[in-house]
Structure 1
Amino acid sequence: MAPRKHFLVLLTLFVAGCTASQDGRPLPASQTPPPSTAEQGQSTKVRTVVDARTVELADGTRARISLLAEPASCAAAAAVDFATKTLLEKEVRVSSITPGEVSLMLPDGTDYALLAVRSGVLRAAGGDGGPLVEAETKASQAKLGLWAQGDCSTSTPPPTTTAPPPPSCVVVYRITNQWAGAFQAEVTVRNVSGALVEGWTVRWRFAEGESVAQLWNGTASQSGVNVSVTNADYNALIVAEGSVSFGFNGSATAPSSPPTSFSLNGAACTTG
């Protein structure tokens, strides 16, 4: 029994030596080191929202938020407004993705980039098929934010311009004779509207001192310098690309000159 007893004593001493430091104090039990600050994300505040994807943190660091595409100009203002309301002076946790880019986690644990894309405010950068791409697909299907603005989701639409309608008529005004205090003129109106004109009234403005004295192929009326000529019973129709003519004798206190503008049934005509 003595040898066995000696062996147990030696084994006890060996184990004690392995669990003690050189100064006789026991070593702490093995523990897993805590996660680093970079892994946890650094807590800070957003001091300034520079644009839809760029923020300035409390320490003055300016960083681009990762995984967000630059918005079209028609959506930029709304994106800045969303970022300002969501981030400005708010506590966030910051973790670095790549140099100069960061991920921002809101106090409730929501990733800001995911929230912006899910709300239809910004598009995801890249197409890796991850959560951001899935969120963008759902936002577009639901017509949220920029997706409700048509082409704004992909590009800036060109400015729209309204072209003036094409003229519906062409008027040729010719002074065929002129003498002291009077003149004679002929007016031809061509219908270029592409449709049949059923009844017509031609209007123009005379120069001061001019008036219609006698008119044929129509009925004239005048108020001041404003003249209206309405069709006769026999020439009320003007077919497409067809024309009608009338003439008149007029009086004038000075040499007459052709008017500069005409209309047919209220629509402006060009002069030929």
Structure 2
Amino acid sequence: MAARKHFLVLLTLFTAACTAEQGGTPKPAPQISSPSPEKETSTKVRAVIDGRTVELTDGRKARISLLAEPSPCAAAAALEFATKTLLDKEVHVGSITPGEVTLRMEDGADYALLAVKNGILRTTGVDGGPMTDAESKAAKGKLGLWGKECPTSTTPPPPASSSAKPPQETQTPPAPPSPPCVVVYRINSTWPGSFQAEVTVRNVSGALINGWTLRWRFPDGQQVTQMWNATSSQSGADVSVTNAGYTALLVPDGSVSLGFNGSVNGANSAPSSFTLNGATCTAG
């Protein structure tokens, strides 16, 4: 009998211990918070070193991410574009890796994407997404540097001897210089009293054009009501179009496209001639 009471006491103590352990209030699991992403900082570009490298106001030199180094013949145009777009401008800086940053301008545009869209620089380290799409469209449209290959240097021929000069009567007058530009005017769509058109300007002068004004005369009294990629003014039938800040550069064999909405009453013929910075263009 005593042994049975002793066994019941031990069983009671063991059950109470287990119940206390299982019924106790569990400690909460430690909370692990994910680190918040680094926020952009606002600063200014103090100096532009090349088309994809800048110095900020705090003295930091940073490489702009996702942009490839330009070829030697494209370096000058890339530097000019970066200087005009970024120098002394307020930018929002986001860090990607040590020494590499993203630059977003005050209007929200990403500099790297803007440079690729305009054919100023190529991409690197990108597999799909907006950068790849922008590169494909620039290459297809031969914008900026996409349609330009670096020339191969050749040794100039020796000067002709004065004794080999042909007789005066056989000399032919020099050919007139070729037009420095080609303009293609295309009407994309029409509806009663209105239309939408696209104008593509190609630089075939062999020289870099930085800043341009395109002029034409409407033959049927058309009026420009809205334009993009450039700004326009009109006096009667005469239209004057000036580049936007991001379409100012026209590299050799590069092109820029601008579009506009217009109003018309009756016939809607295309302009017959165009001038670029005062020089007559070929109508394509």
Bucket of the pairwise TM-score, normalised by the shorter protein: 0.3 to 0.5
Task: Give the structure with higher Rg (CA).
Answer: 1
TM-score, normalisation: structure 1: 0.44
TM-score where L is the length of structure 2: 0.43
